[in-house]
Amino acid sequence: MPAPSSGYTSHHTKGLWRVPVTVYRAPAGSGKTTYMAKQVKQWLKKNPLNQKIALILSDNHKSLEEVERKLVEAGVDPKLIFHYYGHSQLCPIPHLKKFRPVIACSICEKFYPQTAQNCLYKERVEEFRRGNYKILLAPFEVINNRTFREIQDRIAFIWIEEDPFKTRPLREPTPQVVAEQSRIYGRMLTEGDYINRASDIEKKIVETLFPPNLDPQEIPARAVLLAQIFNPSPREIGYYYKMKQAGLSTWLIKQWYLIDVIEIARTNQAPIYITDASFDMNKWLDVDAVYFAIHGERLPINLTIDNTIFFNPKSSPNMIVRLHFEAWYPRNSLNRRTIKQIAREIAVLASRFRQSVIPVITFKSIADMLKAEVQNEISRVKVKEGRELKHYNAEVKVMTFGSLRTRNDFENYKVGFIVGSYNIGKDSLKKAIEEEYGPIYTDEDFETTRIPGFGYIYTNADIERYRRELEDEEQYQAIMRFRPKKKPTLIFIWGRVPERAIQEFDRYVEEDTALTFITTWLSPRKRKLLKPYITEFTLDDLMKVGEAYLLDKKNKGAKRVAVSEVRKFLVRHFKVSDAVINKVIKMLKEVYPIVVIKPNSGRGRPREFFDLDSISPEN
């Protein structure tokens, strides 16, 4: 693994081993994950017999699945990778999923012995224990799992993909919750009890609510009651009181998984690598403050920020075009009439760039409508092929705001479309702020005022700034789904463009309409600037497609296929000239035998067929 260079070093007890932490903070699509996957491959190659484990953490399974894909692409044997999905994904009993495994499993073993015996969660745990896995992919929560504690002393290094500041919100228990837990436990519980005896408290409450003679029919209702009593649980209350006694501000009282990760790394003298384009140094300082309050010393780390772009940006020119730049298109402005107008522009632009797939990112609430309108407009567009005008065919694919991080569905498309400026509602904003900082604002702080031509803003400057940060981050994520650092990329946007994206792209253009863009940029003088974004196929690419088409026909039982049929297939799916198609057909004829069949009537031109008997069928 790469050795981090010198960087930020926290002050702490002299002589304590410092954890090397390297943060790869280059933009999305710059190759951070691919680079780390290759480094893991190199580590495995150098340590084939080592019993150490590479721990890869993230705040969601989607990111971990992407990491797993990158590892396999880098040449890592899938048999060495274990993706830990955990209890909440694998537990077959719905009303027990919400509890920690130790609680849920104790109830399951007592009342559902058959289910417990064939438990998929336990099977996966045993599979991990028995297997010779070298790479563990897991969510942050796994570090509090008993199974993980069995192998945590074998950690060689830790890789955190995406946001490393995953936290579990903690809040002060209400008097009612403490009173109910105390009643079931048998005496009044104190802050000291929760800090020192949380596990014993949980165990006794569960045993009291679920006695051995309990009717199984009552278990779902008791599970609901337990969830209410454990809101928050004794463990969470103990953690809250411990952090409160340390003198932390309310908004810092959370379960910071990163602190546990750093402790594991320090114990094993294991370096930490973080791949996160949106790494926030202010949050890192928050973690440092929490660590100091709990342990009485600063974070024992050496922090290095690495902004290396692992793909050469000079070979990947990219461009953003903002259309109707005076409008910013929030969700409430996108009525059916506006959507029809945008759909018409998308269809025209996509046809000019010869796209067989049209990738669009927009709001979830209008995604189906926009997709249908674009598809409808496509049917009206005609494109010039040779001397003829033919109907334009393309497939529309859609992703939506709010679910973009880690998605790579559009990474291979050179031209993309983003419709709308992501805007977060008041309730969602209040929830995000409370999760981040605690309940520090009142309803009066969320008052808004309207600015003509811009929309509503919050009168509280801090809230408005935080809202803009969230919205710009989501808009930036939408742009980066097209992976502009990896290839030439042209993105058309009906909405706001974050300043960060403008600075990172080679060219940023504002145009009134799609027509003005076409008139200006597809003119003979400037057309060459757009050449990298126009879909082009090499003769070898088309040759492979033609061979695949013949093989497919062979597998379906065909004896021969007309040359004219293959020609029509290539013309229909690839917008290239007749001269190129003729060259591809000639190349296919040189590889596969041709059968010439005369018409039965004896009149007309003989027809040529590819003889498929020479092709070996495959599945």
Of the ranges 313-317, 439-443, 607-611, which one carries the lowest mean pLDDT score? 313-317
Q: What's the pLDDT score for residue 367?
A: 95
Look at residue 4 and tell me whether its pLDDT is greater than 60: no
**337, two tokens:** 């009439």
Q: What is the pLDDT of residues 419-458, one digit of tens each?
A: 999 989 888 898 888 777 767 788 888 998 887 766 788 9
Q: Which has more confidence, 359 or 316?
A: 359
Q: What's the pLDDT score for residue 321?
A: 95
Q: Which has more confidence, 579 or 255?
A: 255
Of the CA atoms within 13 Å of residue 615, those in its CB half-sphere come to 27
Q: What's the pLDDT score for residue 546?
A: 83
Q: How confident is the model at residue 9 (pLDDT cuts 50, 70, 90)?
A: very low
Residue in the block written with tokens 């008139």:
519
Q: What's the pLDDT score for residue 98?
A: 84
Cα separation of 486 and 168, whole Å?
A: 35
Show the domains of the chain with their CATH numbers.
16-167+259-306 (3.40.50.300), 175-240 (no CATH), 313-533 (3.40.50), 539-614 (1.10.10)
pTM exceeding the 0.75 threshold for the entire prediction: no
Q: What is the DSSP letter of 187?
A: S
Which are the contacts of 551, defined by CB distance < 8 A and separation ≥ 6? 615, 617, 618
Measured in degrees and rounded to the nearest 5, phi and psi for residue 453 equal: 80, -5
Q: What's the pLDDT score for residue 557?
A: 82
Cα separation of 313 and 506, whole Å?
A: 9
Q: What is the pLDDT of residues 56-85, one digit of tens each?
A: 999 888 889 989 999 999 999 999 999 998
Q: What's the pLDDT score for residue 13?
A: 44
3-state secondary structure of 599: coil
Number of CB atoms found within 10 A of residue 480's CB: 24
Q: What's the pLDDT score for residue 602?
A: 62
Chain-centroid distance, C-alpha 250: 30
Q: What's the pLDDT score for residue 56?
A: 96
Chain-centroid distance, C-alpha 122: 28
Of the CA atoms within 13 Å of residue 319, those in its CB half-sphere come to 20
Cα separation of 52 and 74, whole Å?
A: 20
Of the ranges 235-244, 406-415, 566-575, which one carries the lowest mean pLDDT score? 566-575
Look at residue 528 and tell me whether its pLDDT is greater than 80: no
Q: How confident is the model at residue 332 (pLDDT cuts 50, 70, 90)?
A: confident
